[in-house]
């Protein structure tokens, strides 16, 4: 199988998986807003926001977390270089 054929099959597989997830999300959403829920109270909560599928989410990382990651990564690199030597 060539790389191009693999990419085409991968695209089709991902599309089928997303379609299946949309079905599951619909079923879960329907069971969530079952008759015991008041739809007027759920105005702000939509199916798309409740379970995001196929969309990239913007994840914001604080500067504190970035600095901590860089610090820990430097410690990791220091340990691995000493272990090799």
Is there a contact between 18 and 53 (Cβ–Cβ < 8 Å)? yes
Radius of gyration, CA atoms only, the chain: 22
**What length does the chain have?**
85
Is there a contact between 46 and 24 (Cβ–Cβ < 8 Å)? no
Tell me the pLDDT tens digit for each residue of 27-59.
988 888 777 777 677 776 777 777 778 766 677
Q: Within 13 Å and on the Cβ side, how many CA atoms surround 78?
A: 6
Mean pLDDT of the chain: 84
Ranges of each domain in the chain: 3-84
For the chain, percent of residues with pLDDT exceeding 90: 44
pLDDT at 83 (0 to 100): 65
pTM score, two decimals? 0.54
Structure tokens at 10: 């991968």
């Amino acid at each position: 199988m060539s790389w191009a054929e693999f990419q085409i099959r991968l695209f089709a597989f991902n599309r089928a998986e997303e379609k299946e997830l949309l079905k599951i999300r619909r079923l879960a959403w329907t069971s969530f807003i079952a008759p015991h829920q008041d739809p007027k109270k759920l105005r702000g909560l939509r199916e798309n926001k409740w379970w995001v599928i196929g969309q990239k989410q913007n994840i914001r990382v604080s500067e504190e977390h970035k600095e901590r990651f860089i610090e820990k990564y430097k410690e990791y690199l220091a340990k691995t270089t000493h272990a090799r030597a």
